[in-house]
Chains A and B, each alone.
Chain A
Amino acid sequence: GDSVTQMEGPVTLSEEAFLTINCTYTATGYPSLFWYVQYPGEGLQLLLKATKADDKGSNKGFEATYRKETTSFHLEKGSVQVSDSAVYFCALRSGGGADGLTFGKGTHLIIQP
């Protein structure tokens, strides 16, 4: 079955540091890939997505590139802020007719001033 593996953390960085959160996946067919963010006490919000190989999703300074050859979708940001502190989930959606996303376990990111 489908699966997503991401570093669990917590990941603690100083403000303005470079961020990478690794995400690799196993899936049949041609999945779409997503990063969701969950701020404390809130639901999940879509951060960015990519629907085919070599696509780059970007939003709010975050980027991730769909790498089919390495089955990866790593999240990056050049300079993080305290407001980026949250839990980040990598997820995929396969073309099997089912609705659900398959999520990684989430990475708790803590940015210190």
Chain B
Amino acid sequence: NAGVTQTPKFQVLKTGQSMTLQCAQDMNHEYMSWYRQDPGMGLRLIHYSVGAGITDQGEVPNGYNVSRSTTEDFPLRLLSAAPSQTSVYFCASSTPGSSAVANTGELFFGEGSRLTVL
């Protein structure tokens, strides 16, 4: 059972280069999301998706694009990398949870992708 798989684990880019961080889950989860983790900042939500064909912005979306063509995959694209995007990126997925009022489902995280932009 693979869970949430992220690739690559490490990447070094030059300013202005583009790249895609891949994320795949095999749990048939409807929700998927991308976070970045920076020292002293905790985790901040970049983009999320509530199902195939549906995406929305989180707290820090600028400089990132996403798409959700299948339930399993949720790639994160950096079109023109900047040093401020140096971070550790986590993909996560979840089910909606059991409550009709509160979204109670836990998030399952990938192992992270460490990106350095020079």
Contacts and interface: CB of A to CB of B under 8 A. Distances in A.
Given A31-B102, A32-B97, A95-B103, A100 B48 contact: yes
A93 B106 CA distance: 9
A101 B102 contact: no
Interface residues of B, number: 34
B36 to A, nearest CB: 11
A43 interface: yes
Interface string B32-59: 1101000011111100111000001011
Contacts of A8: 40
Contacts of B42: 89, 103-106
A33 B103 CA distance: 10
A105 to B, nearest CB: 4
Interface string B106-118: 1111111000000
Interface residues of A, number: 29
Interface in B73-115: 90, 92, 94, 97, 99, 101-112
B94 A99 contact: yes
B102 A98 contact: no
A106 to B, nearest CB: 5
A100 B112 contact: no
B34 to A, nearest CB: 10
11 contacts: A30-B101, A32-B103, A43-B4, A44-B43, A46-B106, A51-B97, A95-B99, A98-B103, A99-B49, A100-B33, A105-B42
Given A44-B90, A94-B103, 8 more contacts: A30-B101, A32-B99, A42-B112, A99-B48, A100-B35, A103-B42, A105-B41, A106-B42
Interface of A: 8, 29-32, 34, 36, 42-46, 49, 51-52, 89, 93-101, 103-106
